[in-house]
Structure 1
């Protein structure tokens, strides 16, 4: 099996190099071919990965495409045109995978209708980020969030609410024993920090790139799978820790609010409207 890692670089070369080092140290089955494609969104990568026992290709788009669109661009411009028996690992570079991540991936068997795999992603404090969404959000809920993000005040409110919720979740998890099942579960959406796309997703026309920028990417991938009648599967056996060093924090609060509002607008127009295109396709967005 070929594992193709898709990631982006945006003024964070040290983090990306640490990520590549981590990948090179994962235990790999002999038949595992690991290739890394990096979209150099900030266009200032200096070659420093040649010493790693990995096949790494740094590709440079003309502008900052963001996370998911950058990964799509790297995949579309990959140097190897024929890639068979492969899985795409789309990931942030502030993650650390369990040493046995690749071994477990090779041992698992999935049905043909599984298009997206969601690993068990946790923050350093133990808070789980997957399952990201178990059920599809309503159009009203998306419209409400889009309205909240119409100004930076809404983002402040939701950030405060998220911090409170996170504290409650951590406190509750300390009081309760672990009862979550290790059995894979079908969910609506995987957390965007890392997910895997199987060949069936691409072969049936699933689109990686989308018309938003930096946000709501989880919903886009979930909706693509939904249109193709493919499952999103949460697999607790595949484990990763998300450090949360978000590159998005380099943008101002007002710009992040606008990115979120525009991305949700795209999701509503593409997947919740009667006039949406059949495949959810649209022009790929770049940094405004």
Structure 2
């Protein structure tokens, strides 16, 4: 299994992520850190690169989240010798469950599949399933309207953390014994791709610098018939905002707005395609 972690001024988080991997019962993992930009703690990444099962790769410029992830995926072996599973994640993910790697390796990695693990945040509670189904037009239109203004965007972020986060934290995480569930989109902080996903010709390229990655993956899977599955027995912890918290607030709002426009367009495409398929199937 390979973990592709995309770093932006979060070297200490990368180091702590690595420490949680050392607790895994199954040592069949490697960590690839894509350094989109180091801060004052760049030396920490250099120290990590000298450790067993760790590589640090540095693109020529900041590629953003999923394009940075694709840079890391390209650095891995391809074909039959490729890792069985590739986990794309932020640096603020923690693999506290010592059985995470072993759990994944019990699955068939040659089946094209995307897994959404249980992602528990101390701020936002359980974050998967991110989208159980395609959201309504009204929901995405409201999000677009809110982010049309920098001030409204900041207020919405504060509200989401204070109110939505409190509500979601009050809901107990899904027990690991609960059955798996087919969903539309996984939470983007950590997404698990099978080897079969890549051998089927799919990738993780994203046309945006940041945001909307979940829906890009969801549309790709929907068009190709690749299942997206919420697996509550695969469990991680998400600290939240380690990277985006370092971006200037106006730039962050602009990136969110661009991401929401992208999501709105992609969801509209899926709705139209589903409607056309339904009409064709109607006698």
TM-score between both structures, scaled by the size of structure 2:
0.83
Match of 1:41 in 2: 36
Matches within 5 A, 1:227-242: 227-242=223-238
Size of the aligned set, in residue pairs, is: 264
Q: CA deviation at 1:269?
A: 3.9
Measure, in 2, the Cα distance between the counterparts of 1:168 and 1:269. Answer: 29
User: Is residue 167 of structure 1 aligned with residue 166 of structure 2?
Assistant: yes
Whether contact under 8 Å (2:88, 2:191) holds in the other structure is yes
Measure, in 1, the Cα distance between the counterparts of 2:176 and 2:233. Answer: 12
2:191 to 180, 192, 195: 195
Measure, in 2, the Cα distance between the counterparts of 1:188 and 1:130. Answer: 11
User: Is residue 150 of structure 1 aligned with residue 148 of structure 2?
Assistant: yes
Gaps of 5+ in 1: 277-288
Measure, in 1, the Cα distance between the counterparts of 2:167 and 2:63. Answer: 35
Measure, in 2, the Cα distance between the counterparts of 1:146 and 1:202. Answer: 32
Match of 1:224 in 2: 220
Cα deviation code 1:97-151 (max 9, x no counterpart): 1111111112245893x52101111113682111111011234433332232122
Structure 1 residues 71 and 111, CA gap change in structure 2 (3 angstroms): closer
Measure, in 2, the Cα distance between the counterparts of 1:144 and 1:205. Answer: 35
Measure, in 1, the Cα distance between the counterparts of 2:2 and 2:174. Answer: 33
Measure, in 1, the Cα distance between the counterparts of 2:49 and 2:208. Answer: 33
Cα deviation code 1:76-104 (max 9, x no counterpart): 2x164553362111111212111111111
Structure 1 residues 224 and 60, CA gap change in structure 2 (3 angstroms): same
Match of 1:107 in 2: 106
Whether contact under 8 Å (2:124, 2:165) holds in the other structure is no
Match of 1:68 in 2: 66
Q: CA deviation at 1:234?
A: 0.5
Structure whose residues are more often helix by fraction? 2
TM-score between both structures, scaled by the size of structure 1:
0.81
Structure 1 residues 53 and 197, CA gap change in structure 2 (3 angstroms): same
Q: CA deviation at 1:190?
A: 0.8
